[in-house]
Amino acid sequence: MRGRFITLEGVEGSGKTTNLEYLCETLKEKNVSFIKTREPGGTELAEAIREAMLAKWQEEITGLTEVLLVFAAREQHLKNVIRPNLERGTWVVCDRFTDATFAYQGEARGVDTEIIERLEQWVQVDLYPDLTFFLDLPPEESESRIAGREKDRMESENRDFFQKVRSGYIRRAKGHKRYCILDASRPLEEVVSDLRHQLLNFVQENS
Ligand code: TMP
């Protein structure tokens, strides 16, 4: 049986890294064979693209350039890591995927959604996540949580940008049943326990 494809999305400072650790711990506990990976990234070239994407450049980087970069990375990642693992029955847990492109480049940078949809179809063909967790947090709280951190090019954007990112994710969530929205403004133990509960249900339904 093909492995299951789980993605984790969240605004900056939403506790994505910690929740990802708990997610993996829960799968281990249930003896699910899985790999953990991330986007942009997950292969040698895709990680190099990630560095270019997040670096601060003197020249202007357009939203369309970002879309093309993340989809080039995604093609490598799908071909060399995601598909082979799913095909051999291994589950794939991915820190961000195409929903991030719709939220960051589509909604926040204003790239035409049709372009993203076309690339999505072209690159992914019939492959979509089976389950997506979205850690939701208001931009004010997101900002205060990441204050003082060293920021990359995306994290250096303003509150209006992150408001749009959030709306982009919420819009996507409404259109897709695979989405599970977690209110990340709650204490971490509550968020983690919610995630665990949803994940255990999913594992039970899919094994
Ligand atoms: P992070 O997941 O470690 O926070 O870093 C990834 C950054 O890349 C984050 O700012 C979101 C951004 N990103 C996009 O803008 N578009 C994409 O398609 C993906 C996967 C990530």
- Distance, CA 42 to ligand 1 centroid (Å)? 13
Instruction: Pull the structure tokens for residue 83.
Output: 């598909």
Instruction: Pull the structure tokens for residue 202.
Output: 């999913």
Per-residue pLDDT of the chain (207 residues; tens, 9 = 90+): 999 999 999 988 899 999 999 999 999 999 999 999 999 999 999 999 999 999 999 999 999 999 999 999 999 999 999 999 999 999 999 999 999 999 999 999 999 999 999 999 999 999 999 999 999 999 899 888 888 889 999 999 999 999 999 999 999 999 999 999 999 999 999 999 999 999 999 999 998
Ligand 1 atom nearest to CA at 152: 10
Torsion on CA atoms 11, 73, 154, 130, rounded to nearest 10: -10
- Estimate to the nearest angstrom the gap between the alpha carbon of 125 and the chain centroid: 18
The pairing of strands 131-136 and 179-183 is parallel
Q: From 11, 47, 105, 154, give the residue whose CB has the most ligand 1 atoms within 8 Å, as the site to mutate.
A: 154
What is the predicted pLDDT for the residue at 12?
86
User: Could you tell me the domains of the chain?
Assistant: 5-205 (3.40.50.300)
- Distance, CA 47 to ligand 1 centroid (Å)? 12
- Distance, CA 1 to ligand 1 centroid (Å)? 30
pTM above 0.95, yes or no: yes
Instruction: Pull the structure tokens for residue 94.
Output: 């991915």
- Distance, CA 95 to ligand 1 centroid (Å)? 9
Instruction: Pull the structure tokens for residue 122.
Output: 């072209």
